Amino acid sequence: MPDIPVITVDGPSGTGKGTICSYLVDWLGWNFLDSGALYRLLALAAKRKGIQNDDEAALVDLAENLNVEFKVAGVGALVDVILNNEPATEEIRTEECGNAASVIAPIAAVRQALLSRQRAFHKEPGLVADGRDMGTVVFPDARLKIFLTASAEERAKRRYKQLKEKGISANLRDLSAAIEARDERDSTRSASPLKPAEDAIVVDTSLLDIDAVVARITELVRKKIPGLPEK
Ligand code: DC
């Protein structure tokens, strides 16, 4: 097996993982795995089929047979997502779908069913993997493991701003409560809880703007993976 480099970017939502991954993929020209999109797609497919959140057997069956395609759509809009031959890019990005994904994600058998699908993204010339357990479970041998954090308050503010910019009305207090509830579910589950790998580098983005985060990540990547192209 050739040593194909992997960079994992884990952390809760709203820490800037998506932006950082899009930057890395653009710079390095590597493959990209948006593992959250897989959990979101599974939640959406289950909703469309009327499968309940606690119907483990049906969810596992669905996960094993999920008909999905990811199409690279350029920087900033990294992937177009197709579910059963229909676009699902917008629909999986709603708060509702993110929360539904977080409710089915604790099921160990569901996570197991998605494992080989995620590892199939590990191809030449390299992989950038975005998620919660990329460095701990899915790619434990990754060359560089980054764990992004930020305070729940700051993440709620960022999400609020994003939604406003898209013309979607939102309530900061409700968003904050939903983010805290999701963090709690993702971090306290027994199967692959959200936590930094022992060898991960933790970057707190609460007080950093995106340019400062990009500069820090660039420095880390250059240190761990020599001989990379200029940006
Ligand atoms: O990153 P995201 O917001 O798209 O993820 C949606 C949910 O999916 C997240 O709250 C928990 C779950 N998830 C997970 O359990 N493991 C991953 N590797 C990625 C996402």
Handedness of CA 84, 113, 62, 52 (dihedral sign): negative
Model pTM score: 0.92
- Indicate which atom in ligand 1 lies nearest the CA of residue 99: 10
- Indicate which atom in ligand 1 lies nearest the CA of residue 106: 15
Pocket of ligand 1 (CB under 6 A): 13, 35-36, 39-40, 98, 101-102, 105, 131-133, 182, 186
Measured CA to CA, the distance from residue 223 to residue 7 in angstroms comes to 13
Taking only the tens place, the pLDDT of each residue in 55-113 is 999 999 999 999 888 876 665 555 788 998 899 998 998 889 998 999 999 999 999 99
Closest alpha carbon to 121 in 32, 36, 24: 32
Amino acid at 52: Q
The domains located in the chain, with CATH, are 6-224 (3.40.50.300)
**First-to-last CA distance in the chain?**
28
**Residue-level pLDDT at 73:** 63
Distance 31 CA to ligand 1 centre (A): 19
Percent of the chain with pLDDT over 90: 69
Taking only the tens place, the pLDDT of each residue in 9-60 is 999 988 989 899 989 998 999 999 999 999 999 999 999 999 999 999 999 9
State the alpha helices, DSSP H only, in the chain: 17-28, 35-49, 56-64, 95-104, 108-119, 152-165, 172-188, 210-224
Of all protein residues, whose CA lies closest to atom 11 belonging to ligand 1?
Answer: 102
Distance 186 CA to ligand 1 centre (A): 8
